[in-house]
Amino acid sequence: MKFGILVNEGPYQHQASDTAYQFTKAALAQGHEIFRVFFYHDGVYNATSISAPPQDDRNVAQQWADLAEEHNLDLVVCVAAALRRGILDEEQAQKSSNTTYNLETKEGNGFRISGLGQLLEAGIQADRLVTFGD
């Protein structure tokens, strides 16, 4: 089965992010395909590279980036939601005259910023679009 995943909640204030990550890992382990993981609303906070959780806690952005690298996943962050919440890639930072950007990437893999059309496409291409969070 081909899944699209929608994550609407941030990584540390709600269980939805962890559940989405575990679901994605389990689906991949069972041989299913993940068409795309789309981060929307507060879910864009999963993509920040500047969080610094304690050593004994999980680094959610890094977990997603590692999973994307291992399985060639498409992790898409909604551009409008990201900009509202201060999540920028290098291109968006330059457009808005910011000197820094904070989108988690791992050697070219990891998260990318795009529009809601990517969510629509995931809903069309996947057999099931599974939503985590409100």
What per-residue confidence (pLDDT) applies to 38? 98
Please list, in sequence order, all residues whose beta carbon lies within 8 angstroms of the beta carbon of residue 97, skipping any fewer than 6 positions away.
Answer: none
Catalytic site positions? 78
Residue pair 4/129 in contact (Cβ under 8 Å)? The answer is yes
Using DSSP, how many helices (H) and how many strands (E) does the chain show?
5, 6
Number of domains in the chain: 1
User: Residue 24's CB: how many other CB atoms inside 10 A?
Assistant: 24
pLDDT at 111: 92
| Segment-wise mean pLDDT, segments of 10 residues, the chain, 134 residues | 98 93 98 98 94 86 93 96 92 86 76 96 98 96
Q: Residue 16 corresponds to which amino acid? A: A
| pTM (two decimals) | 0.93
pLDDT value at position 107? 66
pLDDT at 91: 86
Of all helices (H) and strands (E), which one includes residue 132? strand 128-132
- What CATH number did the domain enclosing 70 receive? 3.40.1260.10
The domain in which residue 50 lies consists of 2-132
